[in-house]
Amino acid sequence: MKFAAIDIGSNAARLQISSVLEDEGVISFKRVEYVRFALRLGHDVFIDGAISPESEVRIFKLLQAYKLLMELHEVQDYAICATSAMREAVNAAEIITRINKILEMKINVIDGAREAELINDVVVQSLHPQKNYLHIDVGGGSTELNIYRNREKLASKSFKIGSVRLLEGKEKESDWDKMKQWISLQIVSMDGPIYAVGTGGNISKLYNISSEVNESKTMTIDELKKISVYVSSFTFEERVHKLRLNTDRADVIVPASSIYLAAMECAGCPSIFVPDLGLKDGILQMLFDRYKARKKA
């Protein structure tokens, strides 16, 4: 049995197809196909407020290709979730309607709270049961923050601060202030140290570049600072050719690192855990849960 998750973000759109495996009652997902394409919808939306006709054509072609891949893999069920750029695009609804009419593929535009919830559903399983955590999920257009104590979510908030938004210079100083004030308010009642959990493609790449790759998938804040300075010392072309970053990663990775660091410093996090999970994993879990509910009905 296979499920597919499509995540249309502000920077890139991802398709992941996974098989469901069961071993002695324990369910896991094995990735059998993964495709990532840089749509860069945030470039349109954060500057002009709308998705351009050229970008609409790219969305259509990409979803058409994803649909063929899902048919080849004989996927049982799938879901498409779009986040910050689609949320803010004034013409998103009409584009979604046109695509659904031709391809019969429904795009679900989810708000920041739902995005955080889907990611949390898979991230919480990897957290230590007796620690405090600040979960930082940095996307192209927004950052979702969640506070955990003993695997219980205490608070959640979405902020209009993202890697593409920063790259385009479209963030507001007030949004930075709101994020820092929110973190400061949440940690007042926390006992003991607070550790960071980082999700998103940029933190995964920063971790892989670091010298602290280990079984615990954790690096110190000092190491993250060092890697951020190291990556920013290269030109865009050098990041592509020497660090071998994708072109759509090479320009957003530095602004993304500044968001993780700002949140960690505000909360006093000594280190960050990078479980390499994201929205696509949450969508897959949702699809499996939906499948189980249908079987029981």
pLDDT in tens, 34-66: 999 999 999 999 999 999 999 999 999 999 999
Structure confidence at residue 215 (pLDDT): 80
Domain co-membership, 146 together with 290:
no
Instruction: State the residue range of the domain holding 32.
Output: 2-111+280-296
Domain co-membership, 70 together with 107:
yes
Domain co-membership, 172 together with 268:
yes
Is residue 262 scored above 80 in pLDDT?
yes
Structure confidence at residue 214 (pLDDT): 76
Pull the structure tokens for residue 31: 């990735």
In a domain, 170, yes or no: yes
Structure confidence at residue 27 (pLDDT): 83
In a domain, 119, yes or no: no
Which of 149, 207, 166, 159 minimizes the C-alpha distance to 43?
Answer: 166
Is residue 84 scored above 80 in pLDDT?
yes
Pull the structure tokens for residue 29: 């997902």
Q: Which residues pair with 22 in a beta bridge?
A: 27
For helices 112-123 and 279-296, give the axis angle rounded to 10 degrees: 80
Q: What are the pLDDT digits (tens) for 201-212? A: 999 999 998 877
The Cα–Cα gap between 106 and 206 comes to: 33
Q: What percent of the chain has pLDDT over 70?
A: 99
Report, as an integer, the average pLDDT of 21-37: 89
pLDDT band (50, 70, 90) for residue 190? confident
Domain co-membership, 86 together with 184:
no
The pLDDT mean for the chain works out to 93
Residue with tokens 């955080």: 116
Structure confidence at residue 2 (pLDDT): 96
Whether 108 and 63 have beta carbons less than 8 Å apart is answered as no
pLDDT band (50, 70, 90) for residue 113? confident
Domain co-membership, 39 together with 50:
yes
Would strands 13-23 and 2-8 be described as parallel, antiparallel, or unpaired? antiparallel
Is residue 112 scored above 90 in pLDDT?
no
Whether 105 and 133 have beta carbons less than 8 Å apart is answered as no
Structure confidence at residue 56 (pLDDT): 96
As for how many domains the chain has, the answer is 2
Pull the structure tokens for residue 75: 């996927």
Q: What are the pLDDT digits (tens) for 225-258? A: 999 999 999 999 999 999 999 998 999 999 999 9
Domain co-membership, 268 together with 148:
yes
In a domain, 215, yes or no: yes
Structure confidence at residue 54 (pLDDT): 96
In a domain, 135, yes or no: yes
Domain co-membership, 143 together with 248:
yes
Is residue 216 scored above 90 in pLDDT?
no
Q: What are the pLDDT digits (tens) for 117-137? A: 899 889 988 898 889 999 999
Is residue 24 scored above 80 in pLDDT?
no
Is residue 23 scored above 90 in pLDDT?
no
Q: What percent of the chain has pLDDT over 90?
A: 79
Is residue 154 scored above 80 in pLDDT?
yes
Residue 45 belongs to domain with CATH number: 3.30.420.40
pLDDT band (50, 70, 90) for residue 172? confident
Is residue 297 scored above 80 in pLDDT?
no
Domain co-membership, 236 together with 247:
yes
Domain co-membership, 92 together with 136:
no
Domain co-membership, 166 together with 84:
no
Domain co-membership, 58 together with 147:
no
In a domain, 163, yes or no: yes
- The residue ranking higher by pLDDT, 113 or 283, is 283
Is residue 276 scored above 90 in pLDDT?
no
Whether 85 and 28 have beta carbons less than 8 Å apart is answered as no
The Cα–Cα gap between 124 and 94 comes to: 36
Domain co-membership, 290 together with 202:
no
In a domain, 245, yes or no: yes
In a domain, 117, yes or no: no
| H-assigned helices in 168-278 | 173-187, 201-209, 221-232, 236-241, 247-250, 253-267
In a domain, 116, yes or no: no
Residue 175 belongs to domain with CATH number: 3.30.420.150
